Amino acid sequence: MPDHIHYQDLGFGISCIDTMLQRQGLAACYLIEHEGMAGFIDTGTSNSIPILLEVLKRKGIIREQVAYVMPTHVHLDHAGGSGGLMREFPNAVLLAHPRGARHLIDPGKLIKGSLAVYGEAAFKAMFGELVPVDADRVREMGDEFEIDFNGRKLVFLDTPGHARHHYCVFDELSAGLFTGDTFGTSYPELNLGKGRFIFPPSTPVQFDPAAWQNTLDRLLTYKPERVFLTHFGMHEEVDVLCKLLKQAIRDYAETAQEYVEAENRSDRITQSILQASVNYLLDQNCGIDVATIHHLIQRDMELNAQGLDHWLTTLD
């Protein structure tokens, strides 16, 4: 049995499960239960599978009850466990974004892309083994496709900005949006000050600030009362967070452009966005020292800078 099982019931039959990627409180996935049906939104990595199975067991849900596995997009902290989970759940259908489906069926390109971002040692430690999903168990979910989750409506929305293979799921019953990376990253430890702290994961290679702004405006038209972030947890100050995130996306794009001609561009951007985040957090009396802030977000900022650096190469 896995040592570290952390999950929280959020009401509406929704549980937030910590997938224990690198540390507690970094990455989550969500279990939905409704009238005897179960489904996962995001999966964690292959290493998270024993945690998810243990949570099902503790809740008295049998594997045959799991009807859907729903990775919001194919980045491995969200979808890496998909194939392994599908092997455990004989009745499940994998609901995939049309641009992501083929990568879950044949994960070769995903592995190659992630190796390029993370390097081999970190890749293996973080993501483990990727299991392909049988093509006949995959259903592609286009924009505004819906499923009837035993009487509960889930709506799938195409949400470019972080990635072009990203969907969000609107759950009518909770008036909640499962947002993957589209509604940003907001760690609980960094939300203890006056203001909220949220940033766009501008991870390589499909950061698109203009599309992202439009996506966020569109998500708000569903009038969500809560958002379920993969990084991390449920947040109910939806309008406040959205405004901050939109500003942060603009700031990131501006910062990147300031360094367009710089040498060591990616490092310079990392330093700039890390320092801006630290300054903001100290200003908000976040109650956490600089070393701890670095510990919590430095790696994110490096990945974000890599994404911004790549984005600059696409502008002309």
| CB-count burial class (<10 Å; 0-12, 13-18, 19+) for 53 | middle
In angstroms, give the least distance from the CB of 192 to Zn ion: 25
Place of tokens 């900022």: 301
Which CB atom, from 73 or from 152, has the smaller least distance to Zn ion? 73
If binding is defined by CB under 5 A, does position 231 make contact with Zn ion? no
Counting every residue written for the chain, the total comes to: 316
If binding is defined by CB under 5 A, does position 75 make contact with Zn ion? yes
**Cβ proximity of 138 and 94 under 8 Å:** yes
In angstroms, give the least distance from the CB of 76 to Zn ion: 9
Residue 187: partners with Cβ closer than 8 Å, 6 or more residues away: 25, 26, 197, 231, 232, 296, 297
For 95: left if phi > 0, alpha if psi spans -120 to 50, otherwise beta; the answer is beta
Task: Report the site for Zn ion in 253-272 (rule: CB under 5 A).
Answer: none
If binding is defined by CB under 5 A, does position 99 make contact with Zn ion? no
Which CB atom, from 12 or from 123, has the smaller least distance to Zn ion? 123
x/- contact string, 26-65, with Zn ion (CB under 5 A)?
----------------------------------------
In angstroms, give the least distance from the CB of 182 to Zn ion: 9
Phi, psi of 261 (to 5 degrees): -95, 0
In angstroms, give the least distance from the CB of 230 to Zn ion: 8
Which CB atom, from 158 or from 181, has the smaller least distance to Zn ion? 181
In angstroms, give the least distance from the CB of 75 to Zn ion: 3
Which CB atom, from 13 or from 161, has the smaller least distance to Zn ion? 161
In angstroms, give the least distance from the CB of 161 to Zn ion: 11
Task: Report the site for Zn ion in 162-181 (rule: CB under 5 A).
Answer: 181
User: Interface residues with Zn ion (CB under 5 A)?
Assistant: 75, 181
